[in-house]
Structure 1
Amino acid sequence: MRRLLLPKRVTALLADADGYIPPQLLPVRDAPLTVDRPASTLGWLNQSPTAAALARLATDSRPVDHDVLDRLGVDLDVRQLRAIPVNTGVLPERNEPLVSVERWLGQVLADRPGRHAVLVRPFAEWVLLRARRRAQTRPFTQAAAADIRSRVLIALQF
């Protein structure tokens, strides 16, 4: 019975009032229909804040991309929401720890006096450039992101 309810719930979540689902989100619609435990998925669709955010995303007139998701914030629900279009092939994967450092850097420098930011920005951008290059050949981890944050904060203390 729940296997029959699942397609209706997914469609209701992603469709507009006329039942239209943006073509970009069709893989997202189809993914839950193949699960082994439809009852769990149905419960998640009915109760999860991430599912509710996915519904809001589906009604947004903008195409789904990483920038749209970035504007939603960086909390756990947004990370879980991002995983859905990435895992279904709607969005390409990206190096989230590296992106988080880039976003953090913009925020931390914006919060400092202008003369501090002017002095530290070239150093911080150099560190990020090296990190981007390394990330092309090996994983860029949360530990590497923490190391960059630490270096920039030390530079700001000078």
Structure 2
Amino acid sequence: MIGVTPTAAWGEEQEPVDGMPTVEIGEDGEPSITVPEGDAPTDVQLEVLKQGDGAIVEAGDNVLVQYTGVAWSDGSVFDSSWERGAPASFSTSGVVDGFRQALEGQAVGSQVVVVIPPEFGYGASEGHELQDETLVFVVDILATQHLAA
């Protein structure tokens, strides 16, 4: 039997955390993100919007996710699997540190919002257009595949 992977997080909704970006979910599941007023945090901030009930993402896992990323400075979308029309698949070891922190330890089915200061994002990538930007991602964790032992 072939399983069908959902295209959006299905976990139980959690209470919002004050001071974090707010997220509205469209009918198709695509999030829109509103960045709060004020200075960006200087450490990685993580909030679980929906608590999933699936397998836990482990270090180095290959994950299947939907995500939208916006710049803290102006709220503009710089990357979105939703806009491309398909979930993205990658290893947690192949993304910026703040994104890795947002995935590892979370349950499949969860939706998280993460705020990533430059030093945990593209700060070390000299000349990268987002080098000095605090990033905000909403990530729907759809599946994980553990590394072979």
Select the structure that is richer in helix: 1
Higher relative contact order structure (alpha carbons within 8 Å, sequence separation ≥ 6)? 2
Give the TM-score normalised by structure 2: 0.28
- TM-score, normalised via structure 1 length: 0.27
- Asked which structure has the greater CA Rg, the reply is 1
